[in-house]
């Protein structure tokens, strides 16, 4: 009896082995966890650092003049109607923002500060053809200088997210510390005025607007890299030059356009 039971058991085991390992459940290797489009969330607050470059357009346009002497000087080409001399410099800054997400659309606001020293400095030189002394043959040098020392903006953002990538438009108000200077040098002016040099400066905080676009991509759940380009346009400044010593009662004025671009790379940390 025992031998018969044993033989039946061996036969059953042999039949199971002959049918193959299909009855044994397969063991699956663990899958690495990664960010997917369904798990990425752009909502919440973030802060970051930026580096990049600033371009200052350095534009000035003659806005008016009066008096016989300056009228003759303008006709003789000593004071240009317009000058444009862009300048570039590096910048570094900080930013803070907050996003809200609804489906694939992301909206929010951002505040940033950029530290920069950008100076657009241009000169225009002509020999005075005025036949009246003491101006005959005098080298007339006019200077146009715009300095931007710091920049800040408060902007709205709106964009479209595709997984870890975000394309957005941005716009808002801008403010900067700006100095504008118009100068006149007559280095070889004859006696009793030689040499003559003077400068007229307006400086202060200027407000305006900023518009731009950017791209941001998450490289970790709470870390993203960004790139943006914005254009800023601040208040124009009109400088009136008047000096009784050299001009008599004549006056001339130039309007400075305080505008330019910022191009930045950034790293943001969500919290």
Indicate whether this model's pTM tops 0.75: yes
Find all residues with CB under 8 Å of 138, minimum gap 6, and list them. Answer: 127, 128, 130, 186, 188, 189, 190
What's the average model confidence in pLDDT over 162-183? 97
39 pLDDT higher than 80: no
Q: Sorting pLDDT into bands at 50, 70 and 90, what band is 36?
A: low
Radius of gyration for the chain, computed over Cα atoms and rounded to the nearest angstrom: 35
Measure CA of the first residue to CA of the last residue in the chain; give whole Å: 76
């Amino acid at each position: 009896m025992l031998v018969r039971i044993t033989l039946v058991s061996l036969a059953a085991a042999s039949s199971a082995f002959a049918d193959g390992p299909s009855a044994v459940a397969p063991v699956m290797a663990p899958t690495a966890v990664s960010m997917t489009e369904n798990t990425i969330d752009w909502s919440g607050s973030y802060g970051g650092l930026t580096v990049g470059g600033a371009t200052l357009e350095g534009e000035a346009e003659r806005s008016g003049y009066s008096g016989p002497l300056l009228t003759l000087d303008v006709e003789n080409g000593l004071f240009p109607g317009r000058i444009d001399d862009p300048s570039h410099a590096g910048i570094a800054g900080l930013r803070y923002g907050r996003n809200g997400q609804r489906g694939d659309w992301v909206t929010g606001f951002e505040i940033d500060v950029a530290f920069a020293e950008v100076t657009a400095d241009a000169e225009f030189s002509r020999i005075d053809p005025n036949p009246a002394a003491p101006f005959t043959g005098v080298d007339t040098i006019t200077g146009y200088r715009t300095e931007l020392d710091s920049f800040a903006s408060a902007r709205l953002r709106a964009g479209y997210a595709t997984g870890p990538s975000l394309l957005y438009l941005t716009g808002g108000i801008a403010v900067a510390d700006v100095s504008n200077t118009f100068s006149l040098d007559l280095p070889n002016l004859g006696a009793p005025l030689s040499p003559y040099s003077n400068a007229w400066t307006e400086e202060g905080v200027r407000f305006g607007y900023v518009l731009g676009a950017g791209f941001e991509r998450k490289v970790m759940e709470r870390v993203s890299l960004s790139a943006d380009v914005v254009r800023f346009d601040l208040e124009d400044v009109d400088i009136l030059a008047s000096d009784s010593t050299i001009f008599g009662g004549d006056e001339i004025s130039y309007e400075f356009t305080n505008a330019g671009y910022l191009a930045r790379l950034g790293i943001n940390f969500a919290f």
